[in-house]
Each structure stands twice: as C-alpha cells, then as structure tokens.
C-alpha cells in the first residue's frame, strides 16, 4: 500500500510538472524560436544540458522535456522500424535520373515517418529509429567500385548526386511551417572507403579535387535544400579528423555556406579520436575536441564525459550552451515543443504506411531504375513462349531486393515471382537455383543444365547481395569488411553461366548488385543483360514486366563499369586521376549514363541561342526527341560539356543537365534545356566558383558521348560549340 501511494504521488507530481511546463515560454509557438531555445537552456543544469548532446537524449521530467533518440534512417524508405515501403536502393534511384520521382519518394517516406512517429508517441515509444531526425541521404561520391557502401550513394557524378539529393531532401523536409522530418547530408567529407580502415584512415586530396569533386553535393544540399543535419565521416581528411575539422566544419560549412542546422558525429566516431586516429589521450579530451569544434551531437558514448572535461579544463559550459542551441533548434523546428495537435503533421495516420500509392511508387522507381546493358533482339519475350527456365542464386532471393538500411515489407516480389506473373497459363516455367551466391556448390552434381537445353529461353539471375558488399558490420559473407576485392561476378557464377551458355538456346542474364559488376565474359555470353541493382520490394515484378515488354527499359548507369580492376588506381588513393568518367583514361565496359531501350529513339534538330556566352547569361538548347518505333518509351537526355583545350586538371566531360522524357510510339517531342554559367565554371582552390573562358563542346545524347556508347547501341549524340568570354 505504501508503494502504491508513492507511485500515485509520482504520477500526480509528473502530471503537475507537465502542466506547469506547458506554460513555459519555450512551449509557446508564438515566441521567437531563438528565445524559446534560450529559455529552455537557461532552465537546465549543466548535467541536463550535457545529457541532451547525446543521440539518445534522456527526458528532463521537471521541465516536461521528453526523451528523444536522434538516430533514424530512411535511405530508401523508413529503415529498421517495422513495416514500411521499401524503395530501390539509392544507387538504383540514381539510375532513374528522375528528380521529380526522387521528390515524390521523399514525400512518401516523410509521410510514413510522421505516421510512425505519431503512432509511437501515443504508446510512449521513443527509442532508436522512432524519431523524426533521419540520417539520410548519403551524398558521398562513389569514386571506386570496390567500396561496399557505394550502393548508398547517387553515383560518381557531382551534378547527378546534387540534383537527386536536393530533390530527395526537399521532399523529406517539406515546405510547411515546421519541418516535416529533418534530413541529413552525410558523410562529411571525402569518404568512400576502405571500410576496414575508416576508423584510422587519412583521405588525402588536393584542393582542386576537394572542391570540384567531393564537396559540390554537400554544398548543394546546404545552400539549396537547407538540409537540417550534417554528419561527419569516420576518417580524417588531409590530416584532421572529420568530426573536429576546423576547415571543413567552421571555414566551409558554417562560414562559407552559412549552415544553420546541427552537426552529428558518425556513430562512435569520436571514440576513434583516442582509439584509432590517436589525436586524444582520453575520452574527456576527445569529447572536448569535438565539442569545441562544433560537433553538436554525439552518436556514441563519449559526450557523457563532458562534465568531467569541463572539470579538467578541456572545455567550458559556454561551449556546451553553444552546441546545445544548435541541437535544440532542430527539435523546435520539428514542432516537438509545440502544443499537442497544433502541428498539421500530427494528423498523419498509419494508413499512409505501405499505402497503394506508395507501393505503386516503389514499383515505378524499380521499373525506371533497371538498366538494359545488352539486347541482341531476344527481348522482350512473348508471354506465350512454351518453355522458360529460370535459374541462379538471385531468382528467388528476397535479400537481393533489400540492400542495406531497409524496412520490412510483407509483400516482397522476387524476380522469379515477377517472371512467373508474366507467362501464359500454358507456359512450362521451371526453376532450379543451380548456383550458390558466394561460393562454389559443395555438391557438384548437375541437375540443371538439361533444363536449359530443352527450354526456349534461360533466364539466369546472378549477382550479389548486401551480405557480400555493404557496411563492415552487415556484410557477414564478406571476407573484406564489406568491400570487394574483385569487381566482376564471383568466378563460380561465371563458370555456371558458361555451362548455361553451352546448353541454352537463348540466354538472358539479370544481375543484382549495388556497384559496377564488370564481367566482359558475361557481355560476350549473354543475348541480353538487365542490371537490376537492389530494386526494392516490387523489384522482381518490375524485372518480370520489363522482360515481357509491359514497359521499355529506361534506367541509366550512374557509375562507370570499367573492364577490369587493373584499370583503376589503388583503392586507398583519393586522387581523381583516372577515376570516374570525368577523368578515366581507359575505355570502359559500359560508360556512365548508358542504358538501352526497346524503342528506336533519335535526337535531332539541335539549336543553340548563342555562339558566344558571357557571365550571368543563359544558354538555351532546343532539340527534338523522336520515337521511330511502335513502343511507348521513356528516355533520359543528357547534356555534357567539354573544354576543347583542356588543362591537366580539366575533366574529359561534365554532366551539366539531364531530363527524363516520355515519348509515345511514332511521335516526337521538342525539348528545351537551359545552361547557366555554372556549366562553364570551375572551383578555385579556395572554393570559389569561377567562370572559365574558352571554347566548349556541348553534347546532347542518351549516354556519355563516346565511341564506346554508340558501339553498344546508344543513340549518337548531337553537338554544338560555344565560346565563353
């Protein structure tokens, strides 16, 4: 009875405190937000303030401050928090070259995020992955196909990454009176492997590469999309740790770009200060180094040492206040201290989670992301084909749809299911896995090649999953911490395809993966190749529908597929020389921007409104996209710029604009694209964008404008020239 009385007293006391706190200035949305934040901080003790600098911020009951966990992910859908719509992995979304689609996906994800937050709040569940601060997108540049986490990015081109990232963030954060959710640009900066070394590695880059390759996407998200968060990378960059980097965090992010959101460490990265990078001798010193440089929030376990850091003279309470203001501003911008029900997003219910609209959207994304790399006339297949043999380790593999950082769908559609859904009732469709993903078959008995011999067509579904490539902890089948030592299919999969080729009348190869899987042998063996990435929950249906011609393939490669790993510099070398299509010297297997269609698409009638271009002007390009076939199609037109008299540091080509267009059968569309002075500019070593005078070739095509593209079947590019004064 005594304990029951105490419990009731505590409950009543808590209710009274909450009631009192609701009358505080910081809970009044009519008061200026800076004053609200200042009022709350002024009422906290040092210990309370320090606790709020942790990603798992505890409640402050006497002030009515609820506990809040900052860690959440939505790379391609709400991740790690139950049921959600699973979109294609980020690299697959990049292959759509569709900024409108990215914006719509951002809106769908933030709808589901708010719905889940509202539902969790009702049951007082505010643990990890339940909040509104999403640590996505990843706008690191995918400079080397060996990096296992490259699948999380939007590819190898700064312009493509920027446009897709800005559209995604705008969709996520919304344009309401409060933030719908808070997005994040990560990992800042110069971060793309090796995974094994990320806790000790120093990524050394020139100022030219830093500004012209590694930073443009971060700048775009901060200055154009007003992204709310930035996460520091694990590694060092040019000698300084990225979570306490005076140049990157102060000079560039806060002063040059005027970033006014919060900065968070990657998880347990500050621990690396004294266990990996060895720039601090203790947890207290490491916490102070990060705090003093403006790392506002700690994902990890280091900032609980802040009070002792102050006692030891490493930092001050004023630094705590300064960092806490940035952290609390974000929570206030999300409306988390506004009266219950006063924020319009409070009314979003769970009926939006995995709604038909969202499932249709992820199907659209998968369909647009899949790249046809080869077609010798075998595709599309007729549903009436009598015998179809499906084989390979990815055919019935749901894991191949998911990639990393994924949610849970009760309706995963594998490739086998997508194919089966398209065949006629009288088709004899047979399936045998035939090959393991990551190692040779233990039992060498061949029970499958005779199936290929009798079938009219063999569809071999090969590739890898995030168990072989990804972040160091998740890629449990990888002997190299999630990175890849080779960039072709595993050798035993190649041998399996050779066996299929020796028996099959027609061989279609579908490949899943999050990076460039460059296998020249597969290109020679296959009659047709579809590259599916990790296509999300409806990915198998999209593959099947494309194989059977319900739509025409329209995805484009956001990365270059080199012919061999020998064509690349050492993995640890961050110099851009001979990396990506912008600097590559070797002929690739498949060029950046490449992807075939069933339709016969041609570009004609290019007109340019200027032959001479000056500062602050606009260059207007008009041309026709003509579909000379009986198939409705979508095409991605791409605009590249090349300086005719290029210097050693100039690029081979630069993607400066792109546009996805729909063209009905036997029709044409007039397209207009504008280029501003950024198209003819380059960053100086101080990070200033400067117009570069000279003569420029401008190319408009459906792939990178090279001989290799046309040899593979891409439409010949149009070109014109302009003189920049």
* Burial classification of residue 387, based on how many CB atoms lie within 10 Å of its CB (0-12 exposed, 13-18 middle, 19 or more buried): middle
> Which helix (H) or strand (E) covers residue 212, if one does?
none
pLDDT for residue 689: 97
What is the distance between the alpha carbons of residues 588 and 573, in angstroms, rounded to a whole number? 20
pTM for this predicted structure = 0.96
Q: Residues of the chain with pLDDT > 70: what percent?
A: 97
The region of weakest confidence among 12-21, 80-89, 419-428 is: 12-21
Phi, psi angles (nearest 5°) of residue 542: -65, -40
Across 106-112, average pLDDT:
98
Position 412 confidence tier, pLDDT thresholds 50, 70, 90: very high
Across 511-517, average pLDDT:
97
Q: Does residue 219 carry a pLDDT above 70?
A: yes
Q: Measured between alpha carbons, how far is residue 614 from residues 498, 640, 643, 674, 678 in Å? A: 57, 19, 16, 14, 12
Position 447 confidence tier, pLDDT thresholds 50, 70, 90: confident
What is the distance between the alpha carbons of residues 359 and 537, in angstroms, rounded to a whole number? 8
Q: Does residue 404 carry a pLDDT above 60?
A: yes
What is the distance between the alpha carbons of residues 569 and 565, in angstroms, rounded to a whole number? 9
Q: Taking the chain, what is the end-to-end CA distance rounded to the nearest angstrom?
A: 88
**Bond preceding residue 187 cis, omega within 30 of 0:** yes
What is the three-class DSSP state of 716?
Answer: coil
pLDDT for residue 472: 86
Please answer whether residues 136 and 84 qualify as being in contact, where contact means their C-beta atoms are separated by less than 8 angstroms. Answer: no
The region of weakest confidence among 11-20, 536-545, 715-724 is: 11-20
Position 21 confidence tier, pLDDT thresholds 50, 70, 90: low
Cα 253 to chain center, whole Å?
21
Reported as a single tens digit per residue, the pLDDT across 531-540 is 999 999 999 9
Across 342-358, average pLDDT:
96
**Bond preceding residue 456 cis, omega within 30 of 0:** no
Q: Which domains does the chain have, with CATH numbers?
A: 1-66+183-333 (3.20.20.300), 358-583 (3.40.50.1700), 601-724 (2.60.40.10)
Q: Are strands 457-463 and 387-391 parallel, antiparallel or unpaired?
A: parallel
Q: Who contacts 397 (Cβ-Cβ below 8 Å, separation ≥6)?
A: 414, 437, 461, 465, 512
Q: Does residue 445 carry a pLDDT above 70?
A: yes
Across 655-666, average pLDDT:
98
Position 9 confidence tier, pLDDT thresholds 50, 70, 90: very low
pLDDT for residue 22: 60
Reported as a single tens digit per residue, the pLDDT across 281-328 is 999 999 999 999 999 999 999 999 999 999 999 999 999 999 999 999
pLDDT for residue 7: 39
pLDDT for residue 5: 37
Across 405-425, average pLDDT:
97
Q: Does residue 473 carry a pLDDT above 80?
A: yes
pLDDT for residue 8: 40
The region of weakest confidence among 245-249, 339-343, 674-678 is: 339-343
**Mean pLDDT, the chain, integer:** 95
Rg over alpha carbons for the chain, rounded to the nearest Å, is 27
Reported as a single tens digit per residue, the pLDDT across 669-701 is 999 999 999 999 999 999 999 999 999 999 999
Reported as a single tens digit per residue, the pLDDT across 416-440 is 999 999 999 999 999 999 999 999 9
Reported as a single tens digit per residue, the pLDDT across 610-637 is 999 999 999 999 999 999 999 999 999 9
Reported as a single tens digit per residue, the pLDDT across 255-286 is 999 999 999 999 999 999 999 999 999 999 99
Catalytic residue among 98, 144, 266, 545: 266
Q: Are strands 68-69 and 56-57 parallel, antiparallel or unpaired?
A: antiparallel
Catalytic site includes residue 266: yes
Q: Does residue 443 carry a pLDDT above 70?
A: yes
What is the three-class DSSP state of 152?
Answer: helix
Q: Does residue 585 carry a pLDDT above 80?
A: yes
């Amino acid at each position: 009875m005594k304990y029951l009385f105490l419990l009731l007293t505590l409950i009543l006391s808590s209710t009274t405190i909450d009631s009192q706190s609701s009358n505080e200035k910081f809970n009044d949305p009519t008061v200026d937000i800076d004053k609200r934040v200042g009022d709350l901080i002024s009422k906290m003790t040092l210990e309370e303030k320090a606790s709020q600098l942790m990603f798992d911020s505890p409640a402050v009951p006497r002030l009515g401050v609820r506990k809040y966990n900052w860690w959440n992910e939505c790379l391609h859908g709400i991740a790690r928090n139950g049921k959600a719509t699973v979109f294609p992995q980020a690299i697959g979304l990049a292959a759509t070259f569709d900024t409108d689609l990215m914006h719509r996906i951002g809106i769908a994800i933030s709808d589901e995020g708010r719905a889940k937050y509202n539902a969790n709040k009702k049951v007082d569940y505010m643990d990890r992955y339940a909040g509104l601060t999403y640590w996505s997108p990843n706008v690191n540049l995918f400079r080397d196909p060996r990096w296992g986490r490259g699948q999380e990015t939007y590819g190898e081109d700064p312009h493509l990454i920027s446009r897709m990232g800005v559209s995604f963030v705008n969709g996520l954060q919304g344009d309401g009176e409060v933030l719908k959710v808070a997005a994040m640009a990560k990992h800042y900066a110069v971060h793309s492997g090796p995974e094994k070394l990320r806790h000790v590695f120093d990524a050394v880059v020139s100022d030219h590469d830093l500004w012209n390759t590694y930073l443009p996407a971060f700048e775009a998200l901060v200055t154009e999309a007003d992204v709310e968060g930035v996460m520091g990378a694990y590694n060092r960059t040019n000698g300084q740790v990225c979570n306490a980097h005076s140049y990157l965090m102060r000079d560039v992010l806060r002063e040059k770009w005027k970033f006014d959101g919060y900065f968070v460490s990657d998880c347990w990265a500050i621990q690396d200060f004294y266990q990996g990078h060895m720039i601090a001798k203790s947890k207290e010193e490491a916490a102070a180094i990060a705090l003093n440089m403006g790392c506002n929030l700690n994902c990890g376990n280091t900032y609980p040492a802040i009070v002792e850091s102050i006692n030891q003279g490493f930092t001050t309470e004023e630094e705590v206040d300064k960092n806490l203001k940035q952290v609390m501003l974000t929570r206030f911008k999300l409306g988390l201290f506004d009266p219950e029900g006063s924020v319009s997003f409070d009314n979003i219910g769970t009926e939006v989670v995995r709604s038909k609209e969202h499932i249709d959207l992820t199907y659209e994304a998968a369909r647009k992301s899949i790249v046809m790399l080869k077609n010798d006339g075998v595709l599309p297949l007729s549903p009436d084909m009598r015998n179809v043999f499906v084989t390979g380790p990815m055919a019935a593999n749901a894991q191949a749809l998911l990639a990393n950082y994924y949610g849970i769908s009760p309706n995963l559609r594998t490739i086998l299911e997508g194919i089966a859904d398209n065949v006629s009732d009288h088709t004899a469709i047979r399936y045998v896995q035939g090959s393991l993903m990551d190692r040779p078959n233990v039992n060498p008995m061949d029970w499958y090649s005779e199936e290929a011999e009798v079938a009219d067509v063999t569809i071999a579904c090969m590739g890898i999953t995030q168990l072989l490539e990804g972040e160091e902890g998740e890629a449990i089948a990888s002997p190299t911490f999630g990175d890849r030592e080779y960039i072709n299919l595993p050798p035993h999969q190649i041998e399996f395809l050779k066996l299929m080729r020796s028996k099959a009348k027609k061989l279609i190869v579908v490949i899943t993966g999050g990076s460039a899987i460059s296998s020249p042998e597969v290109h020679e063996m296959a009659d047709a190749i579809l590259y599916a990435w990790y296509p999300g929950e409806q990915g198998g249906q999209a593959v099947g529908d494309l194989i059977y011609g319900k739509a025409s393939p329209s995805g484009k490669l956001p990365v270059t597929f080199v012919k061999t790993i020998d064509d690349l510099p050492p993995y640890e070398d961050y110099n851009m020389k001979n990396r990506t299509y912008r600097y590559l010297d070797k002929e690739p297997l498949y060029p950046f921007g490449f992807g075939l269609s069933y339709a016969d698409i041609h570009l004609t009638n290019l007109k340019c409104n200027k032959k001479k271009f000056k500062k602050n002007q606009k260059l207007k390009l008009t041309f026709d996209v003509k579909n000379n076939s009986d198939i409705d199609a979508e095409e991605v037109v791409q605009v590249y710029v090349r300086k005719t008299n290029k210097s050693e540091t100039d690029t081979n080509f630069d993607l400066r604009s792109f546009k996805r267009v729909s063209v009905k059968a036997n029709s044409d569309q007039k397209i207009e694209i504008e280029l501003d002075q950024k198209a003819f500019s380059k960053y100086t070593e101080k990070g200033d964008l400067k117009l570069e005078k000279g003569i420029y070739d401008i190319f408009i095509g459906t792939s990178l404008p090279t001989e290799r593209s046309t040899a593979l079947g891409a439409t010949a590019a149009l070109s014109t020239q302009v003189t920049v004064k």
